[in-house]
């Protein structure tokens, strides 16, 4: 199962959980409207790969490695500080990820309801159902987050070596929970039905702020400066992710082959040039002005055909082969736990597989599209993972800022009637990107899905997964 969401204004975040199977394949197809003028001459494949795509993997576990249990074992000298730190970081990372995803989903519903008036909600049964569901989700989220933080703090370790890890993570989780709740309070719909949950969230936020002051987690000057506070929490977030995030070593493939192709192209061209010089020498005889001119022409042709021949040979040799290799290393033991091969290129629609074409069935208006294709094939070694961990979680970020810079800055206006008067309003021009993802290895069957990504020059507007029923109807 793959989850696609907007991370920030310009980045898409793709997350997937990889099972015990050692081999996994992921294909990501991004269909970009042709009107943007995207091509390899505008943004090369290497430039887009290095500037817009980033991949990270972390340990993942379905079991709850409770810090309470691990702290007791550690106090009896049955668990080392590295194991405690790893389990505590994984516990916090999974909580932060779940809370962040839940908050983002509820913010979308909250913004939709906030723009609708009370009369519109009463008239629309769908909006009222959405409001009731959101209210129930907010109460459930409050109870779950409160319970998780209480279990975390139930028994803090007494060992000074372990307590510093606990204090840093407890400090961050308290602040992060407060920030997520305050974001929901700021965007909740106005009205009496959400007043109670707002008061409840504000009480929880005040309680967490007082708790951090009692524990003296942050200095007074840090708490008074939002910038310093934010930077400190960003560092604590990295502290949480470091023990469970696999290190990476990236290598661009084909450097030796590229040198061999360059040497071969030069040798072939120079052979013909030398034969041409010998033929000119036998025809023209002594060195004359005509001989010098013909010789200069031969060397000019050499420079032209050498580059063309080298590029042609290089494309033929590397066609369909991976361009980069990524090696994953355990951060604690510095031991290799897997590797990944990666491809990235521009595709023609006619060259796509039949299932991808069926998933992205284009209309007349959508025939002119540029297809960006990213592929990864990974092979992990679960036997080399840390004890108790057999799964990994992969996060793929796609930065669309390189594509939004191609969009027009021109403003557009529309006219409409309002209270009997013609009113001119400025509208934002938006483009529809289609994202098709195919994955094999994580599930028993191949996973194939499509998302609609609405993008404007100011960033990503909306990300919507196309329902399977809609895909089936479209393909018929």
Region of residue 219 (left: phi > 0; alpha: psi -120 to 50; beta: else): beta
Q: Which residues contact 107 (CB under 8 A, 6 or more apart)?
A: 183, 184, 187
Parallel, antiparallel or unpaired: strands 23-33 and 430-440: antiparallel
- According to DSSP, the residues that pair with 248 across neighbouring strands are 328
Whole-number Å distance between alpha carbons of 193 and 190: 8
Taking CA atoms, 199 is separated from 142, 176, 196, in Å, by 12, 18, 5
Give yes or no for residue 468 having a pLDDT over 70.
Answer: no
3-state secondary structure the chain: CEEEEECCCCEEEEEEEECCCCEEEEEEEEEEEHHHCCCCCCCCHHHHHHHHEEEEEEEECCCCCCHHHHHHHHHCCCCCHHHHHHHHHHHHHHHHHHHHHHHHHHHHHHHHHHCCCHHHHHHCHHHHHHHHHHHHHHHHHHHHHHHHHHHHHCCCCCCHHHHHHHHHHHHHHHHHHHHHHHHHHHHCCCCHHHHHHHHHHHHHHHHHHHHHHHHCCCCHHHHHCHHHHHHHHHHHHHHHHHHHECEEEEEECCHHHHHHHHHHHHHHHHHHHHHHHHHHHHHHCCCCHHHHHHHHHHHHHHHHHHHHHHHHHHHHHHCCCCCEEEEEECCCCCCEEEEEEEEEEEECHHHCCHHHHHHCCCCHHHCCEEEEEEEEEEEECHHHCCCCCCEEEEEEEEECHHHHCCCCCCCEEEEEEECCEEEEEEECCEEEEEEEEEEECCCCCCEEEEEEEEEECCEEEEEEECCHHHHHHHHC
Q: Which residues contact 98 (CB under 8 A, 6 or more apart)?
A: none
- According to DSSP, the residues that pair with 460 across neighbouring strands are 455
Mean of pLDDT values over 156-161: 78
Q: Which residues contact 413 (CB under 8 A, 6 or more apart)?
A: 424, 425, 426, 427
Q: Are 212 and 175 in contact (CB under 8 A)?
A: yes
Backbone angles phi, psi at 225, to 5 degrees: -110, 110
Q: What would the pLDDT profile of 23-44 be if each residue is shown by its tens digit?
A: 889 999 999 998 898 988 899 9
Q: Are 154 and 146 in contact (CB under 8 A)?
A: no
pLDDT band at 379; cut points 50, 70, 90: confident
Q: Cβ atoms within 10 A of the Cβ of 12, count? A: 24
Residue 258: predicted pLDDT: 66
The tally of CA atoms less than 13 A away on the side-chain side of residue 145 is 28
Give yes or no for residue 181 having a pLDDT over 80.
Answer: yes
Mean of pLDDT values over 50-74: 69
Residue 474: predicted pLDDT: 47
Query: What is Dmax (Cα atoms) for the chain?
Result: 102
Q: What would the pLDDT profile of 97-142 be if each residue is shown by its tens digit?
A: 888 888 888 888 888 777 765 555 555 666 777 788 888 888 888 8
Give yes or no for residue 392 having a pLDDT over 70.
Answer: yes
| Tokens describing residue 398 | 């796609």
Give yes or no for residue 175 having a pLDDT over 90.
Answer: yes
N residues, the chain: 476
Q: Which residues contact 299 (CB under 8 A, 6 or more apart)?
A: 273
Q: How far is CA 428 from the centre of its chain?
A: 25
Q: Are 450 and 469 in contact (CB under 8 A)?
A: no
| Tokens describing residue 172 | 């961050």
Whole-number Å distance between alpha carbons of 218 and 208: 13
pLDDT band at 364; cut points 50, 70, 90: very low
- Tracing tokens 């951090």 back to the chain, one arrives at 212
Write down the pTM of the prediction. Answer: 0.77
Q: Cβ atoms within 10 A of the Cβ of 48, count? A: 23
Q: What would the pLDDT profile of 421-430 be if each residue is shown by its tens digit?
A: 888 888 888 8
Helix axes 255-284, 289-318, angle to 10 degrees: 150
Mean of pLDDT values over 224-237: 92
- Tracing tokens 């965007």 back to the chain, one arrives at 187
Whole-number Å distance between alpha carbons of 392 and 18: 5
């Amino acid at each position: 199962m793959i989850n696609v969401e907007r991370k920030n204004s310009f980045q898409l975040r793709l997350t997937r959980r990889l099972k015990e199977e050692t081999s996994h394949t992921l294909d990501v197809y991004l269909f970009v409207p042709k009107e943007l003028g995207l091509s390899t001459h505008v943004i090369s494949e290497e430039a887009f790969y290095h500037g817009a795509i980033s991949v990270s993997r972390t340990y993942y576990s379905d079991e709850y490695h409770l810090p309470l249990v691990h702290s007791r074992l550690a106090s009896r000298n049955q668990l080392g500080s590295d194991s405690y730190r790893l389990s505590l970081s994984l516990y916090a990372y999974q909580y932060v990820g779940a809370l962040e995803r839940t908050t983002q989903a509820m913010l979308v519903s909250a913004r939709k309801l906030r723009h609708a008036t009370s009369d519109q909600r009463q008239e629309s049964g769908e909006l009222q159902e959405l409001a009731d569901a959101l209210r129930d989700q907010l109460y459930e989220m409050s109870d779950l987050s409160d319970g998780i933080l209480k279990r975390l703090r139930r028994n803090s370790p007494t060992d000074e070596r372990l307590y510093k890890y606990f204090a840093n993570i407890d400090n961050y989780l308290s602040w992060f929970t407060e920030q997520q709740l305050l974001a929901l309070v700021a965007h909740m719909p106005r009205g009496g039905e959400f007043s109670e949950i707002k008061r409840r969230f504000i009480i929880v936020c005040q309680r967490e702020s007082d708790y951090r002051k009692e524990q003296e987690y942050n200095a007074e000057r840090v708490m008074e400066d939002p910038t310093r506070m934010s930077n400190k929490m960003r560092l604590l977030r990295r502290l949480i992710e470091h023990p469970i995030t696999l290190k990476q070593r990236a290598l661009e493939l084909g450097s030796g082959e590229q040198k061999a192709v360059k040497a071969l192209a030069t040798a072939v061209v120079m052979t013909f040039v030398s034969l041409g010089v010998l033929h000119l020498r036998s025809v023209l005889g002594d060195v004359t002005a005509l001989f010098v001119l013909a010789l200069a022409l031969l060397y000019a042709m050499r420079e032209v055909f050498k580059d063309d021949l080298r590029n042609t040979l290089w494309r033929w040799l590397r066609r369909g082969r991976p361009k980069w290799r990524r090696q994953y290393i355990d951060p604690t033991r510095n031991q290799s736990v897997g590797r990944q091969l990666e491809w990235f290129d521009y595709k023609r629609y006619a060259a796509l597989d039949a299932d991808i074409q069926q998933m992205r069935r284009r209309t007349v208006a959508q025939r002119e599209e540029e297809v960006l294709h990213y592929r990864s094939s990974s092979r992990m070694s679960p036997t080399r993972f840390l004890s108790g961990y057999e799964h990994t979680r992969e996060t793929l970020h796609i930065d669309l800022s390189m594509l939004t810079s191609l969009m027009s800055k021109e403003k557009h206006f529309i006219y409409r009637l309002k209270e009997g008067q013609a009113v001119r309003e400025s509208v934002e021009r938006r483009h529809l990107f289609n994202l098709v993802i195919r994955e094999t290895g994580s599930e028993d069957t191949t996973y194939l899905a499509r998302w609609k990504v609405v993008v404007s020059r100011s960033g990503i507007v909306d990300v919507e997964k196309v329902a399977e029923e809609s895909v089936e109807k479209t393909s018929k």
